[in-house]
């Protein structure tokens, strides 16, 4: 399974609340019509974290996640009329879209079960895969020793996919995506410190997000 993430930037001059409302209520239903898609989620940014190595990437105002079986089925979706309708909508409310294709990693569940912190940590990282996987294991162990939670690392697997040549995009500088669901609110700060202290790992972007799952994973007929 692969995840196609869109790192999206709102057009300057458009109110952020209007942007997030349009993305969720207008663009979201358009994206749900995409053929061959297995699942769909939007990550709405609540807080921007320190990112000392931005890598030249444009400002990120939201992150989408679309699941497909593989690159071939994703390309079927990208060639569809439904995708063209999404692109037309993108041109109207976004200024930049950078596509990040990842191999979906396993969700590592810590042993304890907490109440949940109400938000998710989302990191765009650069570094060797073995270091990024080691960081994921460290976070899992930290959560297990505290309130519990979940963590997933998705390594980038393709770097040449664009939404549309007429839509500006940033450089392909990301090696992996790290998602953290803290079991308790206090574990949010602990997980952040663990990421920021990791050696050999560069933070391209870090965010506290509200995750909206518009389409849970489905089986295709």
pLDDT in tens, 21-41: 999 999 999 999 999 999 999
Question: Is the distance from CB of 182 to CB of 146 less than 8 angstroms?
Answer: no
Instruction: Read off the pTM.
Output: 0.94
Q: How far is 122 from 207, CA to CA, in rounded Å?
A: 5
Asked if residue 116 has pLDDT above 90, the reply is: no
What pLDDT score was predicted for residue 53?
67
What pLDDT score was predicted for residue 107?
94
Where does the pLDDT of residue 112 fall: very low under 50, low under 70, confident under 90, or very high at 90 and above? low
Asked if residue 113 has pLDDT above 80, the reply is: no
Question: What CATH class is the domain 2-214?
Answer: alpha beta
* C-alpha of 184 from chain center: 21
Asked if residue 101 has pLDDT above 90, the reply is: yes
What pLDDT score was predicted for residue 110?
84
Parse the chain into domains and list their residue ranges: 2-214
Residue with tokens 């569940």: 109
Q: Per-residue b/e over 73-96, b at no fewer than 16 CB within 10 Å?
A: bbeebbebeebeebeebbeebbbb
């Amino acid at each position: 399974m692969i995840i196609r993430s869109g790192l999206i930037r709102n057009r300057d001059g458009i109110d952020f609340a209007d942007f997030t409302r349009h993305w969720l209520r207008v663009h979201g239903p358009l994206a749900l019509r995409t053929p061959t898609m297995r699942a769909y989620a939007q990550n709405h940014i609540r807080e921007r974290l320190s990112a000392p190595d931005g890598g030249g990437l444009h400002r990120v105002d939201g992150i989408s996640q679309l699941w497909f079986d593989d690159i071939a089925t994703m390309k079927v979706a990208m060639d569809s009329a439904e995708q063209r309708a999404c692109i037309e909508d993108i041109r109207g409310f976004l200024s930049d879209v950078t596509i990040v294709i990842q191999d979906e990693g396993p969700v590592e569940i810590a042993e304890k079960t907490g109440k949940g912190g109400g938000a998710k940590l989302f990191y765009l990282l650069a570094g060797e895969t073995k270091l990024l996987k080691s960081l994921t294991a460290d976070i899992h162990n930290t959560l297990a020793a505290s309130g519990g939670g979940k963590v997933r690392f998705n390594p980038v697997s393709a770097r040449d996919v664009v939404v549309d040549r007429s839509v500006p995009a940033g450089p392909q500088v990301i090696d992996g995506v790290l998602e953290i669901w803290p079991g308790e609110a206090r574990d949010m700060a602990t997980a952040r410190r663990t990421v920021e202290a990791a050696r050999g790992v560069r933070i391209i972007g870090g965010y506290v997000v509200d995750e909206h799952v518009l389409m849970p994973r489905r089986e295709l007929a």
